[in-house]
A and B are shown apart, each in its own frame.
Chain A
Amino acid sequence: MSHSILSALSEDLLVRVYGFLDPPCRKTWRLVSREFHRVDSLSRTSIRILRVEFLPALLFKHPNLSSLDLSVCPKLDDDVVLRIALDGAVSTSRLKSLNLSRATAVRARGLETLARLCRALERVDVSHCWAFGDREAAALSVAAGLRELKMDKCLSLSDVGLARIVVGCSKLNKISLKWCMEISDLGIDLLCKKCKDLKSLDVSYLKITNESVRSIALLPKLEVLEMVSCPLIDDAGLQYLENGSPSLKEIDVTRCDRVSSSSLISIVKGHPDLQHLKASHCISEISLSFLHNIKALKHLKTLWIDGARVSDSSLLTLSGSCRALTELGVSRCVGVTDIGMMGLARNCSNLKALNLACCGFVTDAAISAVAQSCLNLESLQLESCHLITEKGLQSLGCYSKRLQELDLTDCDGVNDRGLEYISKCSNLLRLKLGLCANISDKGIFHIGSKCSKLLELDLYRCAGFGDDGLAAISRGCKSLNRLILSYCGELTDTGAEKIRQLEHLTHLELRGIKNITGTGLAAIARGCKKLAYLDLKQCENIDDSGFWALAYFSRNLRQINLCNCSVSDTALCMLMSNLSRVQDVDLVHLNRVTVEGFEFALRACCNRLKKLKLLAPLRFLLSSELLEVLHARGCRIRWD
C-alpha cells in the first residue's frame, strides 16, 4: 500500500519534499527506498567526510556537491588528493566551498591539484594548518575565482605567500589572516592595493602598525574589519579610518591596548551607519564625548564595551538613543547596577544577547526587568553574578521563552528551585552550570525532564549531583551532543551506564571522576558511537578493559586526553591502532606505559596524528625515525 503511494510521487515532487527536510530527517529519508536514496544523492549539496577511504566513492555518488568539508578527515594528504585527481569518474567542477581546516598533511602539491580540479572554487578554509606556508599559498593562488579565504593560524605564511594569493585571487572579498604572525604591513598594504573588492578583513593578533590601517582605509567596499589584539596600532592609526572605507559596518578593536576612545569617536563620526562596534577591553571609561557620538549611531546593533567603567546614567543615555541595539556586552564593567540595567531593558526591547559576566552588582531586579522587557532574548551570560537567586531565574522562566543560551557558571545563588524555573525555558540549547555548588539531582531532574532540545550542558565541578541526575538528563535530553561532567565526584559506573543512552553525544569530559572504572567507560563506548572528543584525564580507576572497549567501539573518536590514566602498553597500542580517526592525543603521565609502548602506539597512528602531547624526556627516548615521520605528516608535538 505504502509502496504505491510513494511510487505515485514524481521525482520532482520528491526533490521538493526533500528540500523541506532538516539534516537529521534526510538521513532517515535515505533509508526509505532506492528512489529516495537517489533523490538524496542527487540533491545533496554539502558533505562532511569523516573517513578518507570513502572520499572518492562519496564524491562519485553525489555529483551535485557544492560544499566539501574535509576538516575532520584523518590521513588526508597529497597522495589522496592526487588519487582523486587521477580518478576520472569524480566530478568536482561544481564544488564551490572547500574546508581544509587542520588538514596539515596537504601541502603545496595537493593544494595545487585541488585548486585546478575544482574550477568553480569560491570558498576555501585552510585555518589551523600550521604547515601552510608560502609554497602552499602559491599553489592555492591557482584558484583565481576565490572569494572567501580563511587562513587563521597559518603560522608559516609570510608576506610573500600572501602576495601570491593576492595577485592570483584578485576577486577576494573576504579574507581572514588571524594569527598569521609573519604577516607585516607590506603584505596588508599589497592586499589592500590589489583586492579592491574586499568586504571583510580579519587582521586580528597581527603585528601590524598604523601603516596597515592607512592602507585598509583605502578599501572602498570594506564592511567588516576585525583587528582584535593588534598591539602596535594606536589612535593615530585608527584615525585613518575616519574618512576611509565609507561602507564600514562592523569594526572589532577588542584588546587593542593602545587604542583609546578618542579614535573610536573619530571612526563613529566618519561612519554614521556603523552597526557593530566591538571595543571590549580597550577603553577604560565611557566618556561623555564618546557617549555623545555613540548616540548618533541610529543603526547600532552590537556594542561591546566589556571592561570599561560604565555609569548608570551613561547606560541610560546610550539605550535611550540606540534603540535598535540587539547585542550588548558589558562584562567586567565596573559600575553596572540594577538602575542602569533596568533603564536599558526599558529602552532596548529588541535585545537578543546580553553579556553581564562578572557584573557583581547586578541583582534579580535587573534580570527580572530584562526578562520582562526583552522578550526576544536568546542569549544571557551571567557568569559570576553572585547576587542572582531563584527570583531572577523565575522571571527568566516565565518570560524568556526564546532563550537559547544561558551561562550561570559560578553563580552561587543558583539552586534546585532556580533550575526548576529555568527548565521552563523549553527552547534552551546551551546551559552552563559549572561551579554551581548548590544544585543537586533534584534540580538536574527538572532540566532533564523539560529541556528536551538541550545540545550542550556544562556541569563542571557540580559536586552535589550524582547518578540519578545524570539518569534524568540521559532520559530527557536525547539530542545532547556536548556534556561536561569533569570533577563531578559523585558519579559512578551507574551514571556512566546511563550516558550510553545519549546517542548523539560527540563531546564528553569526564576529567577527574575517580569512581568510574573500566565497566563504565565500556558502557559509554558502546552507546555513544558518535563520540569524537573524550577527556579522561585523572580517571585513575579505569582499567584496560575500558580502553579496549573504547578501541573497538568508539571508531569516531578524534581527540582523546589520557593524562594520568592507568592505561597499559597494550591497551594504548590497541587504542592508537584501532581508533582510525584519532588526530589529537594527550599522553602525559602515563605511569604504566613504557617507552617501547609509546613507540609502538605512536607508530600505529603516526600517519593520522595532527597534535600530540608527550612528556619532554620522551623526546630523546623515542626513535628519531618516528619523530621525523610524525613531523613529515604535519603532526605537532607539544613536549610537556
Chain B
Amino acid sequence: METGEDDLCQNNWGSASILDYEMAMEDEEEGEPNLHVFKASSSGKDNNNNNNGGQASVQGVKAQAWDPRTMLCNLSFMEQKIHELQGLVHLILGRNGQLQDEQQQLITADLTSIIIQLISTAGSLLPSVNMLSTTAPGSALFPFPREANNLASQTLNNGGASQELEDDAEEGENLPPGSYEIKQLEKEEILAPHTNFCTICGKGFKRDANLRMHMRGHGDQYKTPAALAKPPTKETLPGSDAPMLIKRYSCPFPGCKRNKDHKRFQPLKTILCVKNHYKRTHCDKSFTCSRCHTKKFSVIADLKTHEKHCGQNKWLCSCGTTFSRKDKLFGHIALFQGHTPAIPLEDTKPSAAASSQRGSSGCGNSNNNAAMVSFSLGSAANANQETSQPCVMDGKTSFEESFSPLSFDICNFGGFPRSIFDDSFQMLISSACGCSPINGGVGSVSDTSL
C-alpha cells in the first residue's frame, strides 16, 4: 500500500487528514516511554493552548466542526485500550525479573504501541484547535526518543489543523508582515516519517489515501464509498465560509533566516517546504550517493535526482562542485571570487605518460625530476662543446654526440651501414680544410631584439 513515491507523498502531505496516530511497526524498537510523561505532555499542551489565546480566537470557526459522535467512538476505543494496557502491566508484574530479553522487548513494544494509540485518541478528543501554534510543546516535555515525540506532537495537531495545510496559496513572496499567519512545526514533527497512522494496527502512512486503502482490510465499514472518499476539506465543510488567513511556516531552528525571530524573516510556503528546508539545512546529510560516494544528501529525493545524473558531471570547479553543463560551471565561476575550473584528470595522464616516455627513451631514466635535470645537464654540456668547437674534427665523438638524445646502438637500421657516415665524415674533413676556420659560437645573442 505504501507505494507512493516520495515526492508524491510530500505533495499530498498537506491534505492529509490526520484522524488518528499509531506507532509504525518499524519504529518500535527504540525507547521505552513512560505513561506519565505523556500525561505531562497533554498538560503541556493545555498550557500551550492557554498561552495562545490570540490564536485560539482565530480558530474558533474550526472548533465548531468538532463531532461528538466521533468523540464517543474514540472514548470507547480508549476504554478498550486501557484494558489491554492493564493486562499487559499485570503480565509484567507477574513475571517480574524472569523475563528474557526478547520477551521484554516484545512486551515493551506492545506497551508502547498501546500507549501511543491511547494518547493519539485522547488528543482527538480535544475540540479541534490548531496545535501548530508558534509555541508548540517544547522538546523539554518530550525528552524521549524521536518517534515518541513525533507522535505526541503530531497527536496534538490532528483534526481540522491538517485540513488547512492544503491551503497553499500561490501568492508572491513579498507578503507584508502580519498579513499572514505564522506556524512553526517542531523538529520532531518535521522529521516524522509518516503522518497518517492506522487507528487499529498502528501502521503509518505518508499519504491519507494510502491509509484509507489500508483501512479496507480492517472491516467492511471502511469499504463504503463515504469512508473511501477524500475527507472534506475546510472549504467544502458547511459553515466554514469565513475568509481564510494565509498560512506561512517558520523553521524551528533558532537563528535561521526562515525562523520567525530572524530580522529579515522569509517564511516558507508549505509544510513540504518546511520539511525539505529543515532537512537540507539543519540535518546531517545521511544519504550518500552510491555511485560517487562523495555527494551526501539529507532529502532522499535529492539523492535520487543526483543519482540520475551522477557521473555525467564532468565540469568541475576548484571548490569541488561539479556541474553537468559547462555554462553552469562558468556561471558559478563568474559568481564566486577565486573559483576556477579544475582541469580534468584525464588530461594529466597522457602528458605524464608522454613525459615519462620521453624520459625513458631519452636516457633510460625513470621519470623523476632529478634524473631529468641531470640528463639535460649532460646533453647541454655536449651541445656546448659541439657549438663552441665547431671545427674540431676529431670525428666520431662530435659527430655522434650531435645525434642525441637517441642513441644509435639501441636502434637497428637494416641495410644502412654505419660506415657510410664515417666515410662521409672523412670526405667532409678534407673539403672543409680548404675553408677558412669558423669562429666559435657564431653570435649567440642577436641585437635585433627590442
Contact = CB atoms under 8 A, between A and B. Distances in A.
Interface of A: 23-24, 26-27, 46-54, 58, 67, 69, 75, 77-80, 82-83, 86, 107-109, 133-135, 138, 141, 159-161, 163-164, 167-168, 186-187, 189-190, 193-194, 522, 526, 529-530, 545, 548-549, 552-553, 555-556, 569-571, 573-574, 577-578, 580, 594, 596-597, 599-600, 603-604, 606-607, 623, 625-626, 628-629, 631-633
29 contacts: A23-B447, A23-B448, A24-B447, A46-B449, A47-B449, A78-B355, A78-B372, A79-B373, A133-B347, A135-B343, A135-B347, A159-B330, A160-B343, A164-B341, A167-B338, A186-B327, A552-B390, A552-B435, A571-B424, A577-B399, A577-B403, A594-B416, A596-B415, A599-B416, A603-B408, A607-B405, A632-B354, A632-B357, A632-B358
A164 B342 CA distance: 8
Contacts, number: 182
B383 A570 contact: no
B387 interface: yes
B428 A548 contact: yes
Contacts of B444: 49-51, 54, 58
A82 B380 contact: no
A82 B361 contact: no
A450 to B, nearest CB: 25
Contacts of B408: 603
A59 to B, nearest CB: 12
Given A164-B340, A596-B415, A603-B406, A82 B369 contact: yes
Interface string B363-403: 00000010011011101100110110010000000010011
A577 B424 CA distance: 13
B442 interface: yes
Interface string B408-450: 1001011110001101100010011001101001111111111
Nearest to B377: A83
A134 B446 contact: no
Contacts of A190: 330, 333-334
B343 A167 contact: no
Interface in B333-352: 333-334, 338-341, 343, 347-348, 351
Interface of B: 326-327, 330, 333-334, 338-341, 343, 347-348, 351, 354-355, 357-358, 361, 369, 372-373, 375-377, 379-380, 383-384, 386-387, 390, 399, 402-406, 408, 411, 413-416, 420-421, 423-424, 428, 431-432, 435-436, 438, 441-450
A27 B421 CA distance: 39
Contacts of B421: 570, 573, 600
Nearest to A85: B373
Nearest to B438: A553
A189 B330 contact: yes
Given A186-B327, A632-B358, A49 B384 contact: no
Contacts of B436: 526
B174 to A, nearest CB: 29
A592 to B, nearest CB: 13
A165 B432 CA distance: 52
What 5 A-B pairs have minimum CB-CB distances, sorted nearest first? A48-B449, A596-B416, A79-B376, A570-B424, A23-B447
B377 A604 contact: no
A154 to B, nearest CB: 15
Given A159-B330, A164-B341, A574-B424, A53 B387 contact: yes
B42 to A, nearest CB: 60
A479 to B, nearest CB: 11
A145 to B, nearest CB: 16
A394 to B, nearest CB: 35
B281 to A, nearest CB: 29
B398 to A, nearest CB: 9
